[in-house]
Amino acid sequence: MTTQVLDRIVLQAGESIFREGEPGERAYVVQDGMIDIIKSSADGEIVLGNIEKGGIFGEMALIDDQPRMASAVAASTTTVIVISRDVFQRKLQKCDPFVRGLLGIFVKNIRSMVEERIS
């Protein structure tokens, strides 16, 4: 039995892990610390939310192959576990097709709601 070691990244407060508009190749799980999800708007930057220990972020771009909807920035010293597109897709393919379809709908709705909020 082989054990897969997952990559980890340590970010300092204010350090970005990805920027709005970039292509998404990885998702992340917060192992320790906190990530701010930040969206640009005509009025400046808006913090959409915070991802704390155990939370996942960056997955939407892997589900719908769209650019990053927002930026992810460390709110404090933060350690994240990296989930590659390949690993994410393999796990997603094991899900029931109905569940995969629902995830796609949820992502589309979230993107739409965020755009309405910042308009």
pLDDT value at residue 68: 97
Collapsed DSSP state (helix, strand, coil) of residue 91: helix
56 within domain boundaries: yes
How many domains is the chain partitioned into structurally? 1
> CATH number for the domain including 90?
2.60.120.10
Residues of the domain holding 32: 8-118
pLDDT value at residue 93: 93
Contact between residue 75 and residue 35 where contact means Cβ atoms under 8 Å apart: yes
pLDDT in tens, 52-80: 999 999 999 999 999 999 999 999 999 99
pLDDT value at residue 43: 87
Parts of the chain with a pLDDT under 50: none
1 within domain boundaries: no
52 within domain boundaries: yes
Who contacts 85 (Cβ-Cβ below 8 Å, separation ≥6)?
24, 25, 26, 62
81 within domain boundaries: yes
pTM confidence score: 0.88
18 within domain boundaries: yes
